[in-house]
Amino acid sequence: MRRLLVLMQVFVACLVLPLPASAQAPKPITLAVQLNSDIPQILIAAERKLWEEQGLDVQLIPTATGRETLEALAGGQADFAVFADLPATIAALRRQPFMIIADVARYNGQRAIASKKRMKKFDSPADLDGVRLGTTLGTSVEYLTAVLLQRGNATATIVNATPADLIPALVRGDIDASVPFPSVYAQAKKLLGDDYMELKATGYAAHILLATSPAMIKDRPDDVEKFLRAVLQGEEVVVNDPTAAKEAVIRASKGVMTLDVLDSMWPDYDHRLILTNDLATYMSEQAAWVADKGMIKVEKDQGSPQALRGYIHDKPLATLAPERVRLD
């Protein structure tokens, strides 16, 4: 009887003991991201459960702008975030907590869009002089707007609007031209029809960045590496099966993006994960622009490439794909 009691006590103790880490449900990881053509690797990773294969439970938090994704990361509402270069530069100048772990895409096809009803010609940035120009302040397209105006030695009346409102405002005639996000190019062509005009920003590439929190790097470095490994696996699909990658983008856009527009944009993308010195140099140029505008008080050397390099954490990518990292 006593032996039976001991056995029962051992059995009950086994029931209440915690499961080993490998058998426990993975702690959820949140990713704030805009679901668009910038990140087919991430869309593939989600659809094909590549993170689950790494033992991660990743939950996507859709956002409207990169600025929102970065705020979610800096505010602790997300563990990872995807955003463009300008929000990253501004956040670094504000000393917000984040670390870039990959430059996931470069897009060379950004453009300004105008209506023939409002502009007689749209052949160069100089044609933007004197127009009402819509953009989204505090985002990468604001910086592109400044680049275009500088190239054309033009002065325009800037009208701030959300990404979703820019094209409807153009159709209504509230603005004459716009510098929108690529995710609404299809909408612009559809709504403007024969009145559609565009001007590509040649020689300009937007960087799409994947970042995480300092806490994730400190407390869960293995999970950061697993997260990135799944994204790299998603990239393999993008390279080997672009049709599947495009289909994933179209599904995620829920009708906003069309295949014909995506096909026209695709050659202007480089969806290969990298980390190079060019990124810090480019962000430093943006920092100088931010300082000149007086958007943020920038201390001496705070916007230097060396200072901004401190917001790039290359260890996970260097471990998984060392040939992708070229940093001093």
pLDDT for 201 equals 93
Give per-residue pLDDT as tens, 120-165.
899 999 999 999 999 999 888 999 999 999 999 999 999 999 998 9
Look-up of token digits 């716009």? 178
All structural domains of the chain, each given as residue ranges with its CATH number in brackets, are 27-107+206-326 (3.40.190.10), 111-200 (3.40.190.10)
DSSP symbol at 155: -
Cα–Cα distance measured from residue 152 to residue 295, given in angstroms and rounded to the nearest whole number: 23
Instruction: Report the DSSP beta bridge partners of residue 210.
Output: 82, 102
DSSP-derived secondary structure letter, 274: B
List, for residues 242-253, the tens digit of each pLDDT value. 999 999 999 999
pLDDT of residue 261: 87
Going by C-alpha positions, the residue among 248, 223, 258 that lies closest to residue 47 is 248
Q: Which residues of the chain have pLDDT under 70?
A: 1-26
Question: Reduced to 3 states, what is the DSSP secondary structure of residue 199?
Answer: strand
pTM listed for this prediction: 0.84
pLDDT of residue 198: 96
- Residue 169: the pLDDT is 96
pLDDT of residue 279: 96
Longest CA pairwise span in the chain (Å): 98
